[in-house]
Amino acid sequence: MRKSWDAYFMDIAREVASRATCDRKHVGCVLVKDKYIIATGYNGSVAGLPHCDDVGHMMVNGHCERTSHAEANAIVQAAKHGVRTDGCTAYITASPCWTCFKLLASGGIQRIVFGEFYRDERIFDAAAILGIELVEAGSA
């Protein structure tokens, strides 16, 4: 039996997460439009700067700030290649933090499928107001 599209793209998001360069949390994000991958991202350092895995973490208030989050990196990748994100689905191995949720919403993402819940309940109320569908991967 074939996998559902949601299961298929979540598997790819997990593979993308394997490229993460901060061992505190490996997260992958795949942006999909019309069943085609338009961009991917994982949590990692700015291109050209050292990685946590190589030089250690840059901790501020209990969070590593050396890396950019997977969602932000996926949006940046789309922007660098001139690809619109309006109407996309984001497949993310963990639910987005508040900052990344705001980036996804501002980027026109209409659906977010996530693996584990990670940290921020505010995304649920904001998604409801904005009409963004939030789907836990196990229920997809």
Coil, helix or strand for 98? helix
Per the CB < 8 A criterion, the answer to whether 84 and 107 are in contact is no
Burial of 135 from C-beta contacts in 10 A (0-12 / 13-18 / 19+): middle
Can you read off the two tokens belonging to residue 35?
A: 């069943």
What are the backbone angles phi and psi of residue 137, rounded to the nearest 5°? -55, -40
Task: Choose, from 15, 65, 71, 136, the residue flagged as catalytic.
Answer: 71
User: Does residue 133 have an active-site annotation?
Assistant: no
Can you read off the two tokens belonging to residue 138?
A: 């196990």
- Active-site positions? 71
